[in-house]
Structure 1
């Protein structure tokens, strides 16, 4: 039976970042059940580099977002990945929302984000023309990135360290042995077995399913999965924005916000809808809801120029309240060499390099 040091399941941005980092010091195989890397959450998002403003103090999200943001900007510069540090404006339409902005400013400072600045109504006119707001926060370290090129750079790192990436390969199951895992794979219809010392489940939307196939992993260590679909509308033609524009956050996300891609194309989203099965169907009837949400902070929006674009799905582990990333090693579930990652939604793209570092630290700690 072929033996490798580490098998990483799932070639989204998280799996790619983990595989690239671990391959610097060990033999790594990265498997992906799809035809291409990053087919799901990693390529169906806003491509925003988040600052780390919103997340609860001392949460994994807050820590890895702030750390990962700095690492991501450095990585993009080093590997010529297109990005732009364009900043964002968080808007308040009334005094109640202005109070929320004040609490966001405090939370950001608690998380180590110390570059936010308060915008008066006069400053808002300069930063966010045509926006209806009485106050705002400006985040200069928020940016945008070409997520596909970022993932390509991680794949290039993996391969430069002699790591292997294999697509169309389904994880079938794993059995822990004395110092390794006996793993069964389905390689495009052909059964294949290998043995690995470390097994990293970075399956994203499929992480929970993968976890149920690992013998000896108790069900209590596999959280529920709730698919939360979000749609995006693109905006045709000219617009006045040079920064991202966000309302105050909502229960399951950051609200229908205005983002720009690297070509200057304006788009809005995502909304939130829990669905029972994994599908990326879009719903044109959402146009009116989008229009009303956008009009609230941009009264000049032209409804006729909004076009339904695409949908993404977030892997929620709960339907209510704030969820944190779950990066679970032996100290949680008791199986040496196994790391499961659950609920890696936004800001997973921003946090990916820091998450990879955290996974490496867990595996290293087991051998001390």
Structure 2
């Protein structure tokens, strides 16, 4: 049986960031990825936004790691030449009745240490984004966009330079804790067993399945998994926007954000629906709802402008009716102090802002691992 100091399960942006941190600290690392390429699920099917950290409950892991990760990510991308732009974001109050929501974002952001937010009037918002119709807006200058694939390539390159190895098509089927470590049963074309001193379960949409496959894992420590699917429609002509545009949240309303990629392509989304599993089929019947939602703040949207784009699925820990401000939707990072299995760390619910927070998550997990080392 082969042995390794540390196995990271999952080669999404968070798993790769963790592998980068652990290998740089001198740990022997193997990254086990069930798919035949890295970053094929949540890490590849998102908005590629660098979030400012203004939408999360005060004191939450999401908030703390997003703010720290955002600053680290901008520095890292600049240093490594990874495509990114700090383009800013407008959160728009479409009606006068929505204006109080802007102050709530300021309060949340201030509680996280985000100090560059500014509420502006309708005229200034229109000067910044002439196509936007609103009663006022919140300007978030530190929001940006990033090339997520380029970022993952850089994380993987860093990890490999420190000796880490990536094993693709290597699903983890089971795990057995022993006095010498955790024995992982790895499937694929060349099935094997691997004795690991430390196991980091960063499997994203598969994290609950992996945790349940570890013998002795308490069932009450594995949170429920809700597959939250979001659709993106693309704009079939050049973008009229220079910044991201988000409408304020309204109970029961579709929030179809404006997001931009580094090539200038404008897309609207995601919406929020629920699937029973990992099912990326695009529901074109949602088009009418998108037209209605987008025209609330972008009345210049013409019939025929929207084109079906893609879908992404978030590993949510709370289902329909939950709020991103709810502590039940926070990131969960568990070690043996929570579940009783030495050497095992589980990451659950690593959805947005996981990309923005990835470097901070890597550092946080590295600290947790170091604290548990004999």
TM-score range normalised by the length of the shorter chain: over 0.9
Matches within 5 A, 1:47-126: 47-126=48-127
Deviation at 1:268, TM superposition (A): 0.4
Deviations along 1:129-156, one digit per CA (max 9) or x if unpaired, are 1211011000110000000000000110
Partner of 1:144: 145
Deviation at 1:191, TM superposition (A): 1.9
- Alpha-carbon distance in 1 for matches of 2:254, 2:285: 21
State yes or no: 1:351 paired with 2:352.
no
Partner of 2:308: 308
In structure 2, relative to structure 1, the CA distance for the partners of 1:93 and 1:126 (3 Å cut) is: same
Partner of 2:269: 269
Deviation at 1:250, TM superposition (A): 5.3
- Asked whether the 8 Å contact 2:29–2:164 carries over to 1, the reply is yes
Among 360, 366, 371, the residue aligned to 1:365? 371
Deviations along 1:221-249, one digit per CA (max 9) or x if unpaired, are 11111101100001011232111000113
Deviation at 1:48, TM superposition (A): 0.2
TM-score w.r.t. length of structure 1: 0.97
In structure 2, relative to structure 1, the CA distance for the partners of 1:169 and 1:250 (3 Å cut) is: farther
Q: Report which stretch shifted further, 134-143 or 316-325.
A: 316-325
- Asked whether the 8 Å contact 1:87–1:140 carries over to 2, the reply is yes
Among 335, 338, 344, the residue aligned to 2:344? 338
SS at match of 1:199: strand
State yes or no: 1:223 paired with 2:233.
no
- Asked whether the 8 Å contact 2:254–2:271 carries over to 1, the reply is no
Q: Report which stretch shifted further, 170-179 or 60-69.
A: 170-179
Partner of 1:201: 201
SS at match of 1:150: helix
Q: How many pairs were matched up?
A: 367
- Alpha-carbon distance in 2 for matches of 1:238, 1:61: 34
TM-score w.r.t. length of structure 2: 0.96
Deviation at 1:254, TM superposition (A): 8.9
Q: Report which stretch shifted further, 319-328 or 65-74.
A: 319-328
SS at match of 2:296: helix
SS at match of 1:155: helix
Partner of 1:5: 5
- Alpha-carbon distance in 1 for matches of 2:155, 2:250: 32
Partner of 1:153: 154
Deviation at 1:253, TM superposition (A): 10
Partner of 1:210: 210
Deviation at 1:210, TM superposition (A): 0.4
Computed over aligned residues only, the root mean square deviation of the Cα atoms, in angstroms, reads 1.4
- Alpha-carbon distance in 2 for matches of 1:66, 1:20: 20
Partner of 1:43: 44
Q: Report which stretch shifted further, 113-122 or 58-67.
A: 113-122
Deviation at 1:182, TM superposition (A): 1.2
Partner of 2:287: 287
Partner of 1:317: 317
Partner of 2:175: 174
- Alpha-carbon distance in 2 for matches of 1:38, 1:252: 31
- Asked whether the 8 Å contact 1:49–1:145 carries over to 2, the reply is yes
Deviations along 1:248-290, one digit per CA (max 9) or x if unpaired, are 1356999210011101110000011111121100011111000
- Asked whether the 8 Å contact 2:254–2:289 carries over to 1, the reply is no
Deviation at 1:339, TM superposition (A): 0.6
In structure 2, relative to structure 1, the CA distance for the partners of 1:316 and 1:196 (3 Å cut) is: same
